[in-house]
């Protein structure tokens, strides 16, 4: 918790349970970390990284169930839900499918919080249509295709810290995304991003510490220049 600004907390369907959610929220509060819900497909065996067929209404119910559970623990600890961000396979599914995206974003509207997702995809489009604040996200420990598509894998490979630093610095300083074939500009109109580091990537703590230091340093420079 000391290495992050906000946490995307699993809600029981791909990981976690009532005891872990309670402890996670307690630790977040103790470290002044904002908490977002990280709902997934019901797939603990596959850690939520296997796609399954689901109708929009069914997905909305699946998300409301999970977000409602986490929200209960937040209320118990005197905290508020900061945002909703889908996990794993359903993150990609909702980025591609407008009906599924509308269902997921609709849950954020129900709870009165922003939706976090991929800029330039159905995430951002449906958030705009539904009037839901959108938080653009970029991944420090995953790769992007030459077209700028996020490459979602079931298991995360190790990433050298030098590569993480290069990617983050390029994003912060030049507003460019590193792909497997070169670089692409950030989606037009995106001025701020949330940088994600996965807890199951090898060396996750070191990666998060590195990213936080770079982000804090960049933000301090921006404040000084104003």
Q: Which residues, listed in sequence order, are joined to residue 8 by a DSSP beta bridge?
A: 36
pLDDT surpassing 80 at residue 188: yes
Residues above pLDDT 70, as percent of the chain: 100
Q: Where are the beta strands (DSSP E) in 71-130?
A: 81-84, 115-117
Distance CA 159, CA 22 (A): 31
Give the model's pLDDT for residue 191.
84
Which tens digit of pLDDT belongs to each residue from 109-159? 999 999 999 999 999 999 999 999 999 999 999 999 999 999 988 889 999
pLDDT surpassing 90 at residue 224: no
Give the model's pLDDT for residue 222.
81
Which tens digit of pLDDT belongs to each residue from 49-79? 999 999 999 999 999 999 999 999 999 999 9
Q: Which residues touch 157 (CB under 8 Å, ≥6 apart)? A: 202
- pLDDT, greater one: 114 or 224: 114
Residue 32 — very low, low, confident or very high, per pLDDT cuts 50/70/90? very high
| Beta-sheet pairing, 176-179 with 182-185 | antiparallel
Give the model's pLDDT for residue 154.
85
Which tens digit of pLDDT belongs to each residue from 167-181? 999 999 999 999 999
């Amino acid at each position: 918790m000391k290495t992050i600004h906000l946490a995307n907390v699993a809600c029981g369907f791909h990981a976690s349970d009532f005891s872990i959610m309670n402890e996670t929220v307690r630790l977040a509060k103790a470290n002044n970390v904002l908490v977002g819900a990280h709902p997934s497909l019901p797939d603990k065996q596959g850690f939520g990284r296997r796609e399954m067929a689901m109708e929009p209404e069914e997905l909305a119910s699946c998300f409301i169930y999970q977000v409602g559970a986490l929200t209960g623990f937040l209320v118990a600890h005197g905290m508020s839900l900061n945002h909703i961000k889908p996990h794993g396979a359903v993150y990609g599914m909702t980025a591609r499918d407008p009906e599924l995206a509308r269902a997921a974003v609709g849950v954020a509207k129900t709870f009165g919080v922003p939706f976090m997702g991929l800029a330039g995809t159905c995430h951002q489009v449906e958030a705009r249509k539904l009037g839901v604040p959108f938080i653009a996200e970029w991944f420090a420990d995953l790769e992007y295709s030459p077209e700028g598509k996020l490459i979602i894998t079931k298991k995360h490979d190790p990433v050298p810290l030098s590569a993480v630093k290069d990617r983050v610095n390029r994003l912060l300083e030049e507003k460019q995304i590193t792909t497997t074939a070169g670089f692409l500009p950030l989606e037009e109109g995106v001025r701020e991003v949330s940088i994600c580091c996965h807890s199951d990537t090898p060396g996750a703590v070191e990666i998060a510490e590195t990213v936080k230091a770079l982000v804090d340093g960049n933000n301090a420079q921006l404040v000084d220049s104003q």
